[in-house]
A and B are shown apart, each in its own frame.
Chain A
């Protein structure tokens, strides 16, 4: 068991190291194959761990394995500990499985790209970091994985380092994530202070219930989760992160990394249950994000940005579910979302690839006829995203909406937000689908050839499409609930829907989703309603970037300018100039002594000896 966990974790790291050390002696192809095979190797190890667990009784399923004491400070010992339990094995399967598919897809997508090796080394590093995050047995190791995930995301967003916008986006993502890392670290400090431990069981057993400390701890954790999962108010980095290559967007900014916040809430749910206020705040932030992101997605024209905003919106649902106490539902949606969102990104990637990098949907129209398979895949992903039965999103999203109905008045507000969000999802998703893949219009003139990409791109998309269709049948509450049962020992939900709530939520969500699709059809295909004017507030994404610019960047810039003018220039630069000038003049004077005349050196020597002789004679 512990062998499976270690193999799963170490394989991607070994791949990153091998590609880095191998350097140019590896061909570009080989680097891609190494990365693909090791990621699938991790997936196989995760399956093995899962299979072993299936044969055990629920109480015996969590396994911890410690390689050595990682950090030792006084009476605190933090081991390099891996925890393999029901929750982490689920995440391992998602990360390694979807990750493997996306890395395999990259083989085709990145073909011919400069610096392919660097790309695959980063991809492997990312998979390793993410696995470290989900497999860690204590919060300190989780923080290490958390930071490394941020780092590899930075490296991959800025992969096209010759493009200034990509570099700026990478910096933005890193800074926002670092903010979350900092609040997470502060929460860890408080936990050490009040419990003296960081392993999950120990922390859960002795962390304070209620009160300021419990709330501060939960707030710190929430800060980390919000930054990593791109929720209000730390969400602005995610749309910009679409500067990275499309498979990166699929892997990091849809399927795995951005869901880390949901995983954190589910993992440390005890700490959130100890702080009701913060848990409700998390749910409220999720609800606000899902509405706002849905509205912004209506007007975006970059295909990847639309999908990015829909990701934010869907993670909002997961936040609502996890923070409202429906942990298995949140995790379920995390899983199905990983399938269909990766599918959407990769299908969009095929279109972008065929148009040699064009991402503006106004120039992408009319791809449906030439790319029937991609169109079908995108349609499957869109239907799953909107939550039309029997596609995956229907089961998972509706189960979250149903569960929040169990939470009284607050739950009703969340439910209302979720329903409005589902309507928006229908509109913006099918706006995208009808515009890009609609039958109308001529064949796109920018298309080069009519190929849908190399086999590695086609079959991975196919697998994800199948998963997006069948993935939802894993759980259909309240008829069968294997996932809830599976996760119960780790995260027992306290918000569970009854049958009528399930029925109500499903009916409402499907109805508004279908209404959204109908409106998108009327707007963009039948054109029975004119497309309304774009509101400036949506165009500017609710002015978050402008507000941050005004609140943080401008004041800091002003202070820096003043310091530069009144301190740096006169004091620092001035004094350095004086010192160098002094040395230059002094050295010029001294160097005159060395005049090159051997006789004068000899005279100095003789005079020195004479002086020394006199000194010795006198001092005797």
Chain B
């Protein structure tokens, strides 16, 4: 086996995930939130592939591809929503979208 130890990949995956999560929590623009979600998904993908390599079979890679497909469709929906908001001249700030509060 070549390259760094699998543990480092997991550390990097966790860093990516937390970065993304922080982005979702603190940013207000839906576009950035969408990007942050993508970063979180990629962190998860990295962890999946690292485990696949460690365990020596391909299930993890298959999962990663499935996640990418889902991420792509999610972006389509998310960007569609953002474009719709822009067309209606809704301000791109998720904190302003509070119609569903109790």
Interface residues of A (CB under 8 A from B): 590-599, 602-603, 606
Contacts and interface: CB of A to CB of B under 8 A. Distances in A.
Given A591-B102, A596-B100, 18 more contacts: A590-B102, A593-B102, A594-B101, A594-B102, A595-B101, A595-B102, A596-B98, A596-B101, A597-B94, A597-B95, A597-B101, A599-B25, A599-B26, A599-B94, A599-B95, A602-B25, A603-B25, A606-B25
A590 B101 CA distance: 12
Nearest to A603: B25
B97 to A, nearest CB: 7
A49 B24 CA distance: 91
A598 B97 contact: yes
B21 interface: yes
B26 to A, nearest CB: 8
Contacts of A595: 98, 101-102
B15 to A, nearest CB: 15
Contact of A592 (B21, B94, B102): B102
A358 to B, nearest CB: 67
B100 A594 contact: yes
A26 B100 CA distance: 53
Contact of B97 (A592, A596, A603): A596
Contacts of A591: 102
A598 B37 CA distance: 14
17 contacts: A590-B102, A592-B102, A594-B100, A594-B101, A595-B101, A595-B102, A596-B97, A596-B102, A597-B94, A597-B95, A597-B101, A598-B94, A599-B25, A599-B26, A599-B94, A602-B25, A603-B25
Contacts of A606: 21, 25
A598 to B, nearest CB: 5
4 closest A-B pairs by CB:
A596-B101, A596-B98, A591-B102, A594-B102
Nearest to A592: B102
Interface-centre pick from B21, B28, B99 (highest chain A CB count, 10 A):
B21
A602 B95 CA distance: 12
Interface of B: 21, 24-26, 28, 94-95, 97-102
A603 B27 CA distance: 12
B27 to A, nearest CB: 8
Contacts of B28: 599
Contacts of A596: 97-102
Nearest to B21: A606
A594 B101 CA distance: 5
B44 to A, nearest CB: 13
Contacts of A602: 24-25
A26 B21 CA distance: 72
A595 to B, nearest CB: 5
A590 B99 CA distance: 17
A596 B97 CA distance: 7
A213 B24 CA distance: 88
B29 to A, nearest CB: 12
A457 B16 CA distance: 98
Contacts of A603: 25
Contacts of B100: 594, 596
A599 B26 CA distance: 7
Contacts of B21: 606
B31 to A, nearest CB: 14
Nearest to A595: B101
A599 B98 contact: no
A134 B46 CA distance: 91
Contact of B24 (A590, A593, A599): A599
A597 B101 CA distance: 8
A599 B28 CA distance: 8
A599 B102 CA distance: 15
Contacts of B26: 599
A310 B26 CA distance: 95
A606 B101 CA distance: 20
Nearest to B18: A606
Contacts of B24: 599, 602
A37 to B, nearest CB: 66
Nearest to A599: B25
A174 B17 CA distance: 78
Contacts of A597: 94-95, 98, 101
Nearest to A590: B102
A521 B97 CA distance: 96
A596 B102 CA distance: 7
Contacts of B102: 590-596
A598 B28 CA distance: 10
A590 B94 CA distance: 23
A189 B26 CA distance: 80
Contacts of B94: 597-599
A598 B95 CA distance: 7
A190 B21 CA distance: 82
A539 to B, nearest CB: 69
Interface-centre pick from B21, B28, B102 (highest chain A CB count, 10 A):
B102
B19 to A, nearest CB: 13
A597 B99 CA distance: 9
Nearest to A600: B25
A218 B100 CA distance: 73
A595 B97 CA distance: 11
A613 to B, nearest CB: 11
A606 B94 CA distance: 18
A603 to B, nearest CB: 6
Contacts of B97: 596, 598
Contacts of A592: 102
B14 to A, nearest CB: 11
